Amino acid sequence: MKKDIYILGHRNPDTDSICSAIAYADLKNKGNDGNRYIAARAGQVGPETAYVLKRFGVRQPGYVNNIGTRVRDMEIRKVPSIARNLSLKKAWNLMAQLGAVTLPITDEDNVLQGLITINDIALSYMEEQDGDILAKAKTSYQNILETLEAEMVVGDTGAAFDRGNVLISAANPDVMEDYIKKHDMVITGNRYDSQLSAIESGAGCIIVCLGATVSKTIRKLAADRKCSVIVTPFDTYRVARQINQSMPVEAFMKSEDLVVFHPGDYTDEIKDAMQNTRIRDFPVVDKAGHYIGMISRRNLLGIRKRSVILVDHNERSQAVENIENAEILEIIDHHRIGSLETMEPVYFRNEPVGCTATIVYEMYREKGQTVSPQIAGLLCSAILSDTLVFRSPTCTLTDRRAAQELAEIAGIDCQQFGIEMFTAGSNLKDKTPEEILYQDYKKFEFGDVTFGVGQINSMSGEELARIEQRLLPYLEKHCREHGMSMMFFMLTNIIEESTTLMCFGSGARELAAEAFGLRPEKDSVDLKGIVSRKKQLIPAFIEVINKEA
């Protein structure tokens, strides 16, 4: 079955994560395998990435913060809805025809009004009812005619029986006169005196059984007294047994505290609601309340997982929420092999280069696909960003060659554009400390140790110093509230090729000191020649953590 496949980077996407997702979606769609590949983002786009996208005229990918299955991924059954004035008999017949136990009730605009179940209809027959239940339900004469296969010979078929009781005229007319009240409905046979007695007693309607002919005198008298006359081929017993089936479903439907779901609801969030109620079927409606279809607990068993391709990461802690419930098809990355597990073998391409975009460009070449100037600009930007314009130790000859070829296609100069891009990305004066922290932030887990590392690159030492002062109070709060062992933040000076590392949490300063052979006197250390989180900082931390373990 052809399907939508999302291509996603990590939760706090950098330029490589976003641009590689867009470019790889373009490459996969050129393969024309019938599937639709959709570039998406799992977090907010930073100013550097926003500048790149605007520079090359590309829209931001759609935001996907949870890749778990939704109600729209389930088999939503198109059970037809019914009007609230439909008779119980017709509803019952429709249920039998569809094999359904629940029917949704909607208004003329298809807005959900309530539900009627097979149990509701059964209870309407089994429970003892008052003689005026037909009137309380405001049963239309049209429903009565359809249920009794009858004909109205006097009266208005568009009216409703809304006053009086339902009686059977089985006794002598003299006796029945004491029981028949004004507006009552009287079931009678082919007896002129019984019909006359009912009309003269003020009955609102008489039902004549066995298809008996109604005399002109009775018709005229009934019309004068505003008494409806109905003729049915059924006998008295059958009429008495089936008359309540003509009541509208709205008299028995459930309309309050309905458990309804929306197409965008995540299935892991609706499971409890489905299991904690005795209802078997649940309506699905849109945001305006318009009815879409029905789902049940058994639909959860055959649900289709959402398909995803991951780029620029392979750590569960960095992946979009609910990744464990998604179908991972491919992983394209340049980082260390992380903690992510898959249910089945997948295409996993991981190369020791400085940027995922370099790998994507190689795949364009391998497949003989042309790179447009627009896509070339995105891929080149990603390489320049990740390698700090070739200054990072992660940069390889493959990265440099790819960037130069892409720059020629895009019509840009690597050095000049790199300065423009980093200048746009380091303009953080209007950003909150939280926005700065999460602009490029990743979480790492090694055994019992959990820590987060954020990074900001700038060409201005003065700007980095201002950011350090702004982040000081926030980082301590973040570390405490998110239950992490340690928290680090890299303030990287691109020009000087150095980093000021901010350290928070129990043992954070000691870990940094041992990793780099320093003796810090405050909660930040200066690391000369350190600019890469992936290739310089994290490996040094892992070595110390493993040694202590």
SS (H, E, C) 113-152: EEEEEHHHHHHHHHCCCCCCHHHHCCEEHHHHHHHCCCEE
Evaluate whether 243 touches 134 at the Cβ level (below 8 Å).
yes
Apex CA 414: angle with CA 409 and CA 418, to 5°?
125
Q: At residue 79, what is the residue type?
A: V
Helix (H/G/I), strand (E/B), else coil: 413: coil
For position 415, what pLDDT does the model report?
93
How many CA atoms within 13 Å lie on the side-chain side of 106? Answer: 20
Q: What are 358's two structure tokens?
A: 């370099």
Q: At residue 371, what is the residue type?
A: V
Q: What is the pTM of this model?
A: 0.66
pLDDT values of the chain reduced to their tens digit, one per residue, 549 residues:
678 999 999 998 999 999 999 999 999 999 988 899 999 999 999 889 999 999 999 999 999 989 988 898 888 999 999 999 999 999 999 999 999 999 999 999 999 999 999 988 888 877 667 788 999 999 999 999 999 999 999 999 999 999 999 999 888 887 888 889 999 999 998 889 999 999 999 999 999 999 999 999 999 999 999 999 999 999 999 999 999 999 999 999 999 889 999 999 988 888 888 887 778 899 999 999 999 999 998 888 778 888 999 999 998 888 998 898 899 999 999 998 887 888 888 999 999 999 999 999 999 999 999 999 999 999 999 999 999 999 998 999 999 999 999 999 999 999 999 989 988 887 677 788 888 888 888 888 887 888 889 998 888 888 888 888 888 888 877 777 777 778 999 999 988 889 999 998 888 989 999 999 887 777 889 999 999 998 899 999 999 998 876
**From the CB of residue 118, how many other CB atoms can be counted at a distance below 10 Å?**
16
Kind of pairing between the strands at 449-458 and 160-161: unpaired
Give Cα 182 distance to the centre of its chain.
Answer: 56
Cα separation, 483 vs 140, in Å, equals 65
Rg of the chain taking only CA atoms, in angstroms: 37
For position 146, what pLDDT does the model report?
96
Bridge partners of 134?
none
Q: Which DSSP category does 298 fall into? A: G
For position 1, what pLDDT does the model report?
64
For position 446, what pLDDT does the model report?
82
For position 159, what pLDDT does the model report?
96
Cα separation, 295 vs 74, in Å, equals 8
**CA–CA distance from 369 to each of 338, 360, 361, 499 (Å)?**
31, 11, 10, 39
Cα separation, 19 vs 17, in Å, equals 6
For position 128, what pLDDT does the model report?
65
